[in-house]
A and B are shown apart, each in its own frame.
Chain A
Amino acid sequence: MAGSRMQLELSRVVHGTARLGVLKGLGSTGQHSLDVPCCLLYTHFGTVPHLTQDTLHTISSLPFVTQVALSHVAEHQDVLEEFKDGLKKFAGLRDTALFCSLHDPAAPCPTGYTTNKTVSVWGSGGRIDMSVAKFMALQKVVQPDWYQSMADGETWQINASRKRVRKSVDRTLAHLDECLLLHQKSQELDRVSMFGVVEGGDILEERVRSARETAKRPVAGFCLDGFQSGAMDPTLRIQLISAVTKELPEDKPRLLQGVGRPDEVLECVEAGVDLFEGFFPFQATERGCALCFSFNVSPDPERAGGTQTDLDEEQHTAGETQPNGDLNCDDQTQMTCFEMNLRDKRYQDDFRPLVEGCGCYCCKNHQRAYVHHLLVTNELLAGVLLMIHNTSHYQSFFHSLREALAGDKLDLLKKRVLGGSCQLADGINVDNSKRNDRD
């Protein structure tokens, strides 16, 4: 299996498909592990947005895996080649495993630039064309612990034709075979894990074909691509994800790309997903929002996420906060109902922490009024404090999710997460029309 030592041990499967387990064999010596379901640490070129190592490590229990996108790395290929010791060392990352994805899940990726032999990534300096040879040469200088194979994921547009979708599946399999060949020949990638990528757009047969074919290859796990929020109807998405995971071997991890909303995370975990990209806290930060949804299923009131009273209060607050908060997933930059907009004037003289009971550096030391002030004056510290809180809150949510899976409390967790502010009658059942009828 391409030299990999990565190993998934499932401890529990709930409702037939929701998986609880440990991903073992991570890190340079293989002694580290990742409890799943889990989300990776989202970065810009190895740096969690806005944070230095000091501010990042105020957050307790960070995941052991850091994600970096090839789109940020590609333009620095010559630098990394000269550096020789890999991106982790170059970026000053210690005590973490590195996962290298193709794209940045929080950055737009224009379509229309793939060919049979190449895909394109977009860095700060513009588009970079990538063949499998170049892709693999990059992996050799990045030296991640784990990466995804090159993939043609341009099928998320609403009107992608069946022919285009079929082509993307074929191309992605061809890229995978080529990547595997080069991977096996490469000494540098000897102990590195490769994930195959499942494509297939919104066409069930193509999704199943892609999953089956990919599963035949010696990959360490699977990336589920083309499901990003807004790409398709959420009900269809869950159907497709369920169909895909059914085709995949039980003992290998599944990473869902481009999905981060807590309600969607829960649905997708139920459909058999183990890993997520951690970009959602960053998106909330960029729009001046603090994550405030409830997720506490623990009887221990010390745990973050709020007690029942907090829940009621948050419900009230969030309801007030964003009368236009919407469940329209089309625009990933738009505020969701899991967050509060601290730019809002109501927080001007609100001397409470962002979330009562939250133990993050921001909530322990600062008040909503201060973060509001930093936002309206465009101060850089706003991004720092929000990113600390949002990352911490989101990681705690995943902790709670694992706890819920372990303790048969998934339904309770769903109620908490959705009940807080997103008043959905029955799970996620969103049509494309805007829903402003919250109250």
Chain B
Amino acid sequence: MAAATVRGVDRNTSESLMSLKKAVTAASPLALRIVAECPVTKARACDLALPHWTVSTPVFMPVGTQGTLKGITADQLESLGCQICLGNTYHLGMRPGPDLIERANGLHGFMNWKRNLLTDSGGFQMVSLVELSEVTEEGVKFKSPYDGKEILLSPEKSISIQNSLGSDIMMQLDDVVSSTVKGPRVEEAMHRSIRWLDRCIAANKHPDRQNLFAIIQGGLDAQLRKACLNEMTQRDVPGFAIGGLSGGEEKDDFWRMVTLSTDYLPREKPRYLMGVGYAVDLVVCVALGCDMFDCVFPTRTARFGSALVPWGSLQVKQKQYAKDFQPIDPDCQCPTCKRHSRAYLHALFKSDTAAMHHVTIHNISYQLTLMRSVRQSIVDGRFPEFIRTFMKRMFPSPDQYPGWAMEALASVNVALD
């Protein structure tokens, strides 16, 4: 086993050297311009130029798992101001499959989305959705839930699928371990993720038009994170993701790993914090220096009638809203709030799926508007003040502020009291 690993490293090191040379000659299809940096926190506002659109960061990226954003048309998403959204490689690789999407001019053509797309590696779903998966140095082995056939998702395979999808940002295949797992498995996964990164870089057929992001692993162990950061930042990748978090770990561990990562990540490259989408987490992690976020939560919760509002959330299906004739959020400018009341949405949930679409639109609008406000406050040099106002609105009283958030913000010089 050990010998095999060593051999793997040798082979992959030589490959990675080759790809490093390639990367130096080919300019990556990404440019990050830092528009403003918060003088107090680590927050920054950037313009991230990608092949299909320039993205204003910090940015929340809605998740369109199967080539569609849950009942919302591409036009609606565009008019909400969405500049980049996600597709899932695992789902799309299964159905309709990479060949078909390639024939449809990539995922952009297939779903007719004119702006940017980011695709994940497929590894996360494999581990979280598929029961029979086994991780070896080669890749992730699993049984197809559709026909039971055994499939190997290797770094090369993941990149090949993502090349077919044609996303603007591709993610490396990483060895995902639950963030609550401890011990040698975490270290193994971290090292393997580095080796897989090199294989992914070498496998990318379109470095001129598809950006490959590395994913920092290392669990909740600061030493492992640092080691991973040290190795990965030596690779010439266009951007970095902070992975292996937001999986049920303590928030105290979570924010420390985030801030540690941004401390070591290069200033001139985008930082993507994976799987984060709660409003408080977004604001805090922007303060810790992250630029990009994604999460299924806002759209998933919408379908259960949960609308996101500056003071938390509002369960439209609850009886108390049956005769509440205000919009979800009277200050919200989204198409749902401009036309419909809580009472109508409450009633419509009993009659038609359009009720879900209304709340989905509202929630995407909430997330995107929140990030636009965050960005504007960074540009205006008043981000710390924004945080204080945001927290006051979100929590009924300061003694309900979560301790981890206060600590995290204090670490970047923002006192809440």
Contacts and interface: CB of A to CB of B under 8 A. Distances in A.
Given A55-B73, A379-B68, A379-B71, 12 more contacts: A52-B336, A52-B357, A78-B323, A90-B341, A123-B350, A124-B350, A361-B75, A369-B104, A370-B111, A376-B95, A380-B357, A385-B73
Contact of B347 (A48, A52, A76): A76
B353 interface: yes
Contact of A83 (B68, B103, B325): B325
B15 to A, nearest CB: 34
Interface string B96-114: 1000100110000011100
Given A52-B354, A369-B104, A376-B95, A381 B76 contact: no
Interface residues of A, number: 45
A373 interface: yes
A367 B104 contact: yes
Interface string B63-96: 0001111111111100100000000000100011
B66 A373 contact: yes
A351 interface: yes
Contacts of A377: 66, 91, 95
Given A76-B347, A381-B72, A369 B100 contact: yes
B335 interface: yes
Contacts of A45: 347-348, 350-352
Nearest to A381: B68
Nearest to B110: A370
B386 interface: no
Contacts of B70: 379-381
B351 A365 contact: no
Interface string A30-63: 0000000000000011111111111100100000
Contacts of A75: 350
A72 B349 CA distance: 12
Most-contacted residue by chain A among B91, B95, B339, B356 (CB, 10 A): B339
B361 interface: yes
B10 to A, nearest CB: 42
Interface of A: 44-55, 58, 72, 75-76, 78-79, 82-83, 90-92, 123-125, 348-349, 351, 361, 365-367, 369-370, 373-374, 376-377, 379-381, 383-385
B340 interface: yes
B352 A49 contact: yes
Contacts of A385: 73
Contact of B335 (A44, A46, A53, A351): A53
B304 interface: no
Contacts of B361: 52
B343 A380 contact: no
A349 B103 CA distance: 9
Contacts of B110: 367, 369-370, 373
Given A83-B343, A376-B95, A50 B103 contact: no
12 contacts: A44-B348, A47-B355, A50-B357, A52-B76, A54-B75, A76-B347, A82-B323, A348-B100, A361-B73, A370-B110, A379-B68, A381-B73
Nearest to A45: B351
Contact of B339 (A55, A92, A369, A380): A92
Most-contacted residue by chain B among A83, A124, A125, A384 (CB, 10 A): A384
Interface residues of B, number: 43
Nearest to A378: B66
Interface string B360-385: 01000000000000000000000000
Contacts of A384: 71, 73, 357
A384 B347 CA distance: 20
A124 B350 CA distance: 6
B96 A369 contact: yes
A370 B67 contact: yes
Contacts of A351: 103-104
B344 interface: yes
A361 B75 CA distance: 10
A55 B340 CA distance: 15
B322 interface: yes
B192 interface: no
Nearest to A104: B351
Nearest to B105: A351
B96 A50 contact: no
Nearest to A83: B325
A49 B354 contact: yes
B81 to A, nearest CB: 14
Contact of B74 (A49, A78, A365, A380): A365
B155 to A, nearest CB: 26
Nearest to B339: A92
B100 A349 contact: yes
